[in-house]
Structures are given as structure tokens and as C-alpha cells.
Structure 1
Amino acid sequence: MARSRTDTDEVVLTLLKGAPTPMSAYQVLDRLRPEGIQSPPIVYRALERLEKAGQIHRLEGLNAYFACCGRDHHTVGTVFAVCTGCRRVEEWSCEGIDDLLGGAAAKAGFAPVGRIVEVRGLCAICRGAARPEDAHGLTAHGPGCECGHGSEG
């Protein structure tokens, strides 16, 4: 029996929430084949719906997806910091980034329709500046994140 859109979306979202690093659409498909999801278009449609709903993000540079921490990205600018060592992603709240980018766009006469700011480098753990056991959870959301992911244990 075929899954409904809602069921497929939920399975994809659950997988991404549990993933330690962003996943490509084909990685998602490979992990969900045992669940009966066999078709790339089904996965791509689910990813598109989840992204439009603000439940996941797509990293353009990696062509990969990860679960959103739940913060309202329309009120505070967000920068995605991608570790080139372990591939973890941090969501940083960056007040003023939208104004900065908007001002630069206006000066250039450019009319943006969206933005994704990705920064690549090494996270504190990969640089040896933090211990892995200090990185509670699978995805560090960075300064200003109020999802509470790092407060357990």
C-alpha cells in the first residue's frame, strides 16, 4: 500500500532529525528503501514540501538537507556554518545580517528573492577546541538558538 504525502513527509523528517550530518536526497532514499520508499521523485517531493514548510533546510553547497532547529528564520537572520571536517551544521542567529545583505543589494540595484548564507570551516570539535561529549545532540545550532538541544545531561 502506498504511503500518503503526510506519512512520507513524516518519515523523511524523522530520518533527517536523527541524522548526524546533512543528507543528500539519494542518501535519504537509500535509508528509506527498507520502509518501502523506492522512487526518487517521492523523496524529492517530500523534501520540497518539508523545505517550503520550514521544517528542513537545503545546503546549496553540499546539495544536502538537514532538519531545522525550529527557530523562526524570518525574524532573525541565520547563517549555516558547515564543518568541512565532520560535516556537522550549526545554525547561527545573526542579527543584522539581513539588513547588511539588503543594503548591499540595494546599492547594487539587485532585487534578491531569497538568501542562504553558508560558511565553511572547522568546528570547535574538529579543531580540538571542544570535546565531542560537549556537543550534546546531533546538530549544534549555535549562538542564539533557543531550541534547548544542548541543555540535556
Structure 2
Amino acid sequence: MYMAKEMNNRQAYFNYQIDDRYVAGIALLGTEVKSVREGKVSFNDSFCLFDKGELWLRGLYIAEYALGTTNNHIAVHDRKLLLTARELKRLQASTKERGFTIVPLRVFFNDKNLVKVEIGLARGKKTHDKRETIKKRDTDREIKRFLK
């Protein structure tokens, strides 16, 4: 059986400072699971929002399944995230604070072959923080190159 590697949201780590992480289930249609297994997921402009006490993932692109029939899924639509009531209350209270947002960090399969999404409670970085991140990444790259 083919297992896809986990898909990471690299832009989220660059644009945001991640304070807290949660693992949530995600409500998917049948062909969406097959596309995720093939690794056809894109996090461009995806974010989480609350609607009527439920957490939804908006903007996550899961490509249509190549072997799907007329019942194939729509590539971009809102997907419900499955968390406990306590976690939802904690996240909703945190997002009401100034500057916090919820972003998806990675999509992966757990031990039971269920699709899970790791979400992070994040605060946006300023421009100078992004420059520091770039500088640190470049120096780490130079050190690794020198040690080889």
C-alpha cells in the first residue's frame, strides 16, 4: 500500500510565529482522501475560521482525483476540522486576542490511516523578523556546507 509523505506548509513558518499546535481531524470526501494520499495538497492562502462555534479550514487545495468519476470532489471548498469542545473554546478565545490567527501547518496520516491536520495558533511576523529568519537560514546553510 502506498503511503504519501506528510505535506508541510513552509510559508506558515516563514510568515508566522507559531505559539501553540493542535492536531485535528478533517471531514473529507472519498476522492479527497485518495488525492491526499498521492500528495496533491497545496496550502496557498489557506487559513482557519470559526463559524457558528465550528472550526473550518478555508482555501486548502486538494487536487481532483485523476481516476475519479462524475462524483469527483471540488478542489477548493471549506472543510470542517474536528476538535474537542474544550480545544475549540480555547482556540476561539485566543483568536479574539489581537494578532492571533489559526493556520494549517501540515497534513498527514496517523497510525490508523486517518487524515489529520496540524494547526497552529500563530502571530504574524514583522518584516524585520522575516529578515532575521532569512539570515539565520543562510548562516545555517553556510555552516553545513563548510562542515561537509
TM-score tier after normalising by the smaller chain length: under 0.3
The TM-score normalised by the length of structure 1 is: 0.25
Q: Larger strand proportion, structure 1 or 2? A: 2
Greater relative contact order, per chain length (Cα 8 Å cut-off, separation 6+): 2
The TM-score normalised by the length of structure 2 is: 0.25
